[in-house]
Structure formats: C-alpha cells, structure tokens
Amino acid sequence: MATICVPLRVHRPEELIGAIDVAARNGNLVEVRADYLSEPEAALPVVRDLPDELQCRVILTMRTPEQGGQLPHSEDVRRAFWSRASQLPNVLFDVELDLLQKQSELSFDLDRVICSHHDFTRVPEDVVEIYQRMAATQARIMKIAVQANDATDCLSIFKLLGRAHDDNRELIAIAMGHRGLMTRVLGPSRGSILTYGSLDDESPTAPGQITATDLRNLFRIDSIDSATQITGLIGNPVSHSLSPHIHNAAFAAAGLNAVFVPIEVDEAVAFLRTMVRPDSREIDWSLSGLSVTAPHKSTVISELNWIDAAAREIGAVNTIVVDGDELHGHNTDAVGFIKPLKQRHEPLADLRCAVVGAGGAARAAIWALKQGGADVTVFARDKTKAEFLSKTFGVKYQQLLPRSFAGYDLLVNATPLGTRGNRENESAVTAEQLRGVRLAYDLVYNPSETRFLRAAHAAGCETIGGLEMLIAQAVAQFKLWTGKQPNVDVMRAAATRQLRIE
C-alpha cells in the first residue's frame, strides 16, 4: 500500500485528539501542524498522551510563514517548541533545512527527522544543490515540495526521486499546485516514501493537495506500481473534468493495472517533447496515451507521427495513443457526438441543423453532421472562425443569432456557456429562440441540467445532454488505449455520481 499522510488544519488544541483519530483512519500517518495553533506547545501533551500505536503514526511540524506556516511564530517560540518536542519518544519531526542547519543545540534524533524545504513560487534552479544540502544533515528522510507552474516542472521531482533511489536515500518529493498533481498520485510508485492527502476538500494544507479518499478510491494509489499503464488528460483547465472518474472506474471494472490522471498543461508542445514523445522524453514511464482538451487539440498535431482521417479533416486531435516509438492522433469527439443521434435512430440526411459556436467541439459536430449528409448552418460571432468553418466544411454561416430557430430540426450548443463555474447561469440561446426546434443538443455536460437544456424544455424541445457525448467518446478512447471494450454502465454511473456530488 502507498503511504498517505493526512495533515491537520486544527486551530484549537482540544480538537486535536478527535482530529488525529479521524485522520489516522483515513491515512497511514497524521501530520500535526503546530503552526496552526496560537500556542504551538499545546500540541505536545496531546501527542505525548496518545496511545503508543497512534504516537508512532504522527509527524510533528512547525512551519515558518516562508515555508508555508499558518501563524508567524517567532524564532524563540520555534526554538522552545522544538526543544521540548524533540524529547517525545515515538513521533517523527518535520524540521526545515535552515533550522536544522542553524540550531545545533537542538538534540534531534536524526533517525526520526524529516528535513524539509518548500518553495511556493517555483522549482528553484538550485533544487539539486538543496537536495545535497539536505543529505548532508544526515536526517534519515528528506522532503522537497516546490510549486509547479507547468506540468513539465514535475520532471524535476521525478528526477530527484530517481537520484534518491540511486543514493539509497529516503525522499518525499512533491510538485505543488494543480500542475503538480501527477507527482502526488504517481510519486509513491516512483520512490517517494509518502504522499499527502487532506481529510476533505476544505482542509488542504498546501496548493494542489487532494483528499486521501480520492487518492485511494479515485486514483487507486495502492495499486499503482512501476508497471501501471498511465493515461491522462492534458488541457487548461482540467480540474472540472469528469474523465478521471469515468476512465479510472472503467479500468477498475476491467481489472486493468492502469490509471488516468488530469494534467494541467500550458505549453503542450514542450510537454509532449519532454514527457511524452518516446524519442525525446526525459522520463521513463509506462505512458499509453492521452486525452486532449482545450486549448491544445490543434496544437498537439505538429508533434504527432500519424493522425486519422477524421482528426485531419476536423483539424483537431482529442486522443493520443503511444504506439511503439510513435504518437498517433485520433478524434473521438466526432464519434461521441453522433452516437446519441444514431441511438435515437435520427436520420442525418438532409437534417436541417444549426450549430452555435466555432471552437473544437463545433468542428467535430459539423464534420460528423456533414458526413451524414445533414444541412448545417454555423452561428458564430467571430467572423474569421465562422468563415473558416464555412470554407473547410462547406457549410453556411451567420454571425448574429436569429430571433427564432423555428424550422431547424436540430440545434447544437457547441459553446462553453452554461459550464459549471462563472458561466453556469448563461445560455447561448433563450427559450423564445428555441421554440419550433425539434431537438436541442447541449455539448456541455457539467452540470447535467444546464440553463440551455432548461430553456429547451420550456420551449417544448426534445433534448440530449452533453454527458452522452462524453461517455461515447470516452468509450472510443478506452478501446484505443487498451484494445478492450469498457463497461459503459460503469462509466456512466461514475460520471453521474460525480455530477451529483458537485
């Protein structure tokens, strides 16, 4: 099993005993953050009086604000705390590198010390030198936590773990922030002696820290090893995506040693070259493929060795498969879009369709509809994009939405309006405009009941939600990566369950 440490954000000493008990049931270790207490030494008798089996599962930590501490305790307070804390018999001590180097009068049992260093702004250029300075302290365990400003920053963490393995040293290494998530999930399988998981979404103690429950249940961290086939989603943002829930549930149901990780990427080309392409990547991992979302669906094409006809004609790739030494690109959005229509036995030939939007989702929808012989009109405010779609796919376009779409058989919302978050209460069209449309299809899947769909119901339209397209395209991706048919019911149940939670 992977070792998960659950850190505590407790501000009152009397709450510590109950919090430690709950955290110990969620993880293998509990980090007691004394810097969250106005009187840090109040944590010491609580820890001292715990049952022995709990004491040996506690890490005591007392951070400075520069190293992520909650309260600005003075040097004297820190020194007094550690002078008393170091006498406790069974706990581990997380002591910052600068203090461990300066405070020679503190008699730590170095076999129980985690020598740590944090940088909440970047991966420092001298991170290897910092590692060497930590190793020189003779602390048994070292911890380096740095901020990942792009997914490629995770490389430094994985390389440090490789170095620690070669040096036969125990290291905890983490890239913080959303862009460092893969180090929290994959770190233990690559040599990190533990990873951190919060009790819940409201109590992380560092940027990008996810819950212990998600580490165990969503990512199945206890099953991840060096042979685990890695897949993931690259885009920006990716935190809203249901794909990790869908694919990880499907992997588990199929009994596959595989994991799907969301990867927030700014520079897609740099990421593919340093971490994905077999001929140039700087990491040795069992990467099977990637899902690609906005804004990278077109950008990634330049780095691929081969793309399928649909992706080439659409001009967008949403699925990458690592095939030997090559990267192959596919577009499963088009298949995913058209499948719900086919399941309704909707005849596409001469179907009068309106597509609102001009992004990657719109391109896939237009291509799929045209392949079936539909009559398509694109509605987009960006004239340049609309004209491009018109010329590329041979469709009509209009910049302004009409007062009424009456007469159209199908209206597709291919804009992000209505997506959970800042634009959740927006809709591309109103109920008044939808009156007379037979079928309204929203490509937004989160939330499941968007404002667009509510307007469509009010207008008397039949409707299709974006979840059906999401599941259909995910099924096609799963087949490409594994060669197997997934359990579609498991996929849908995982997505629906997460939508209810959100």
Integer Cα distance of 130 and 126 in angstroms: 6
Four-residue CA torsion sign, 495, 232, 415, 365: negative
| Distant-in-sequence, close-in-space partners of 403: CB < 8 Å, separation ≥ 6 | 432, 433
| Contact indicator for 173, 183 with CB cutoff of 8 Å | yes
Q: Do the Cβ atoms of 8 and 31 come closer than 8 Å?
A: yes
Q: Cα dihedral angle (22, 195, 103, 123), rounded to 10 degrees?
A: -140
Phi, psi of 196 (to 5 degrees): -110, 140
C-alpha to C-alpha distance for 314 and 298, rounded to whole angstroms:
9
Structure token digits, residue 465: 């939600």
**How far apart (Å, rounded) are the C-alpha atoms in residues 188 and 212?**
14
CA distance 83 to 101: 15
For residues 372 and 345, the answer to whether their CB atoms sit within 8 Å is no
CA-nearest of 81, 22, 19, 35 to 205 is 35
475: Cα separation from own chain's centroid: 20
Domain boundaries, the chain: 4-226, 232-331+474-501, 341-464
- In the numeric block, the tokens 């040599």 are attached to 191
CB atoms inside a 10 Å sphere around CB 320: 27
- Measure the CA–CA gap between 319 and 313, rounded to whole angstroms: 15
Distance CA 134, CA 86 (A): 19
Strand-pair partners of 198? 211
**Do 4 and 212 contact (CB within 8 A), yes or no?**
yes
Domain spanning 232-331+474-501: which superfamily?
Answer: Leucine Dehydrogenase, chain A, domain 1 (3.40.50.10860)
Number of Cβ within 10 Å of residue 232's Cβ equals 26
Structure tokens at 494: 């995982």
370 is catalytic: no
* Alpha-carbon separation of residue 487 from 214, 481, 495 (angstroms): 21, 15, 13
Residue 364: closest CA among 381, 397, 328, 339 = 339
Length, in residues, of the chain: 502
Question: What's the order of all strands across the beta sheet hosting 170-176?
Answer: 170-176, 141-147, 113-119, 92-96, 58-61, 29-33, 4-8, 195-196
- From 148, 227, 144, 240, select the one nearest 186 (Cα to Cα): 227
Cα–Cα distance between 237 and 108 in angstroms, integer?
A: 44
Q: 229-235 and 258-264 as β-strands: parallel, antiparallel, unpaired?
A: parallel
Query: If you ran DSSP here, which 8-state letter would residue 217 be given?
Result: I
Number of Cβ within 10 Å of residue 342's Cβ equals 13
Alpha helices in 56-177 (DSSP H): 75-85, 97-102, 127-136, 154-167
Written as tens digits, the pLDDT of the chain (502 aa) is 899 999 999 999 999 999 999 999 999 999 999 999 999 999 999 999 999 889 999 999 999 999 998 988 888 898 889 999 999 999 999 999 988 887 666 788 999 999 999 999 999 999 999 999 999 999 999 999 999 999 999 999 999 999 999 999 999 999 999 999 999 999 999 999 999 999 999 999 999 999 999 999 999 999 999 999 999 999 998 988 999 999 999 999 999 999 999 999 999 999 999 999 999 999 999 999 999 998 999 999 999 999 999 999 999 999 999 999 999 999 999 999 999 999 999 999 989 999 999 988 999 999 999 999 999 999 999 999 999 999 999 999 999 999 999 999 999 999 999 998 889 999 999 999 999 999 999 999 999 999 999 999 999 999 999 999 999 999 999 999 999 999 999 999 999 999 987 7
Q: Name the β-bridge partners of 311.
A: none
The answer to whether 232-331+474-501 and 341-464 have equal CATH topology is: yes
* Integer angstrom CA distances of residue 479 from 178, 241, 285, 288, 297: 28, 20, 21, 12, 20
**Distance between CA atoms of 97 and 214, rounded to whole angstroms?**
31
Q: Which CATH number fits domain 4-226: 3.90.1150.10, 3.40.50.300, 3.30.70.260, 3.20.20.70?
A: 3.20.20.70
Token pair of 376 as six digits: 């398509």
Helices then strands, counting H and E runs in the chain, come out as 19, 20
Q: The domain 341-464 belongs to what CATH superfamily?
A: NAD(P)-binding Rossmann-like Domain (3.40.50.720)
User: Of the listed 102, 143, 297, 484, which one is catalytic?
Assistant: 297
pLDDT of residue 153: 98
AA identity, residue 119: D
